[in-house]
Structure 1
Amino acid sequence: MAQKRLDYKGQSFSLSYEILESQNLSAPTLVILHGWGASRTLMKQSFGGLFKNFKHCYVDMPGFGNSPTPPFALNTYDYAEILKIFLGQLSLIPSHCSIMGHSFGGKVATLLEPKELILLSSAGIQVPKSFKVQCKIALAKSLNRFVPRLSRIFKQFLRSKDVENMDEVMYQTFKNVVDEDFSSIFAEFKSPCYIFWGERDLATPLKSGEKIHALIPNSKFFVLGGDHFFFLKGAKEIEKLYLNIKK
């Protein structure tokens, strides 16, 4: 594990990362980004022994894994800018790299405008909220407006499970990124894109993957067995499908 310190918007950030070298010294770089609440460890566990024609770069994005909580709440565009600075410190140019991103990491990867994009059940398509979630949002707004003290007491109960035990900065960051609509961003992406999806994904439904595929002109779409974390068991199949395209 290594650490890089960088400055962004006048504040200091520290990012934890790991490089896996290829036996081919001239191998291109594959940057692999985790999803919300995960870390580089999960991604290395899945892909560390695969894609051997690449040098791998795994990074804990700010607030995850071994990278400290950011000094202020971020949005996905902030994450992308921070990653650009980080990659620059490693003498890596995103447009010369292949970048893989799972879920939230898929949005960050797309904004980096890589030479080649690999999306794993990417976030970025707005999905209608369930009735239960709509009720929780309505209750939170009512309490905050009419009974602020009670709102603070019930805040933890009303929060999404995705942000349980997270501090206020990361909670605000989650609120910033969770409902972003990346439809126009996907539509503007012109480089090759390979989209892989779990057929039983409930966090980012299969219809979201189909829409991203329709939006990105130069994309290919593959459905695999599994849920939102289908790649934990399906990493070899992802590699196989990717390599078949390259033949």
Structure 2
Amino acid sequence: MAQKSIVYCGKNIDISYEIVNPSAKIDFVVLHGWGSNKNLMKQFFSSYMKGFRHIYIDLPGFGNSTACCAMQTKDVADIVRIFLQEIAASSDIVLGHSFGGKVALLLEPKLLVLVASAGIYVPKSFTIKTKIAAFKLLKLFGLSKFRSLFVADDAKELSEDMYTTFKNVVNEDFTQEFASFSGKALLFWGREDSATPLSSAQKIHSLIKNSELYVYDGDHYFFMKNAQDIATKIEKTFLTLGE
């Protein structure tokens, strides 16, 4: 594991990362989802694509990386872009799981790999809407200390900056960003995913003209059992780009 200190908006941020196959010439950048870290992604993908330089990153505020302020997804992408420049890496292939998919998209790689990516707004259920309304009412009466009873599991135990970041990014609609992407994209999805449903994959597939969609049995973490097949498809696709 290594760390690189970068400056963003006048503040220092430490980015924790790990490189596999350091002498390889083609960069394969891997970005985890919300609440996760680089170790999860490395565990399942590092054994494959040995001809590529794997770069596993803890996104700011997660794992061993620090955060300097509340962020939007664009800020996270800008931080990762600066980091990649600092370590002389390129965006040849960028894989993003869930929240990491939105970050990957904004990096505009040669090959975009979306694994159960977030970015398509899904209307909240009645239960969630009720929880939000109840929390706002408690806050009005100065009882916001009960926040943990109402926030999503992904937001519990977060610092104030990261909780604000969570609220900023959770409802972002990246429809236009997906439609504007002009490169090649591979979409990998779990058929039973309830966090980013298959309908989101189908919409992204329709928005990105040069994209392919592969659906597997499993939920939001279907890639744990299918990493080898996903890696094979990524490698084959990248090596035939431009033919």
- Structure 1 letter corresponding to 2:226: G
**Aligned position for 1:130:** 125
Q: Is the contact between residue 120 and residue 200 of structure 2 (CA under 8 Å) also seen in structure 1?
A: yes
Residues 1:75 and 2:58 are matched in the alignment: no
Structure 2 residue aligned with 1:158? 150
SS of residue in 2 equivalent to 1:174: helix
Compare 206-215 and 162-171 and name the one that shifted more. 162-171
233-242 or 111-120: which moved more?
Answer: 233-242
Measured in 1, the distance between the counterparts of 2:19 and 2:235 equals: 22
Aligned residue in 1 for 2:62: 64
Amino acid at match of 2:44: S
**Matching of residues 187-206 of structure 1 within 5 Å:** 187-206=179-198
CA drift at 1:53: 2.2
Matches within 5 A, 1:30-49: 30-49=28-47
Give the equivalent residue in structure 1 for 2:18: 18
What is the letter of the counterpart of residue 49 of structure 1?
A: S
Specify the code of the residue in structure 2 equivalent to 1:99: V
Equivalent in the alignment of 2:84: 87
How well do the aligned residues superpose, as a CA RMSD in angstroms? Answer: 1.3
Q: Which amino acid aligns with 1:75?
A: Q
For residues 235 and 87 of structure 2, the distance between their equivalents in structure 1, rounded to whole angstroms, comes to 27
For structure 1, list consecutive stretches of 5 or more residues without a partner in the other structure.
none
Distance across 2 between alignment mates of 1:243 and 1:39: 23
Give the TM-score normalised by structure 2: 0.94
Q: Deviations over 1:111-164 (max 9, x none)?
A: 00011100000000000111110101111222223x1x22x1321111111112
Please give the alpha-carbon distance, in whole angstroms, between the structure 2 residues aligned to 1:4 and 1:244: 31
Q: Helix, strand or coil for the counterpart of 1:134?
A: helix
Cα deviation, residue 244, structure 1: 5.2
**Which amino acid counterpart does residue 41 of structure 2 have in structure 1?**
M
Equivalent pairs counted in the alignment come to: 239
Cα separation, 2, equivalents of 1:80 and 1:153: 32
How far apart in 2 are the matches of 1:133 and 1:47? Answer: 34
Q: CA deviation at 1:104?
A: 0.3
Deviations 1:21-66 (A, max 9, x none): 16xx453100000000000000000101012221100010111111
Structure 2: gaps (5+ residues): none
Task: Provide the residue aligned with 1:238 in structure 2.
Answer: 230
Establish whether residue 144 from structure 1 lines up as the match of residue 142 from structure 2.
Answer: no
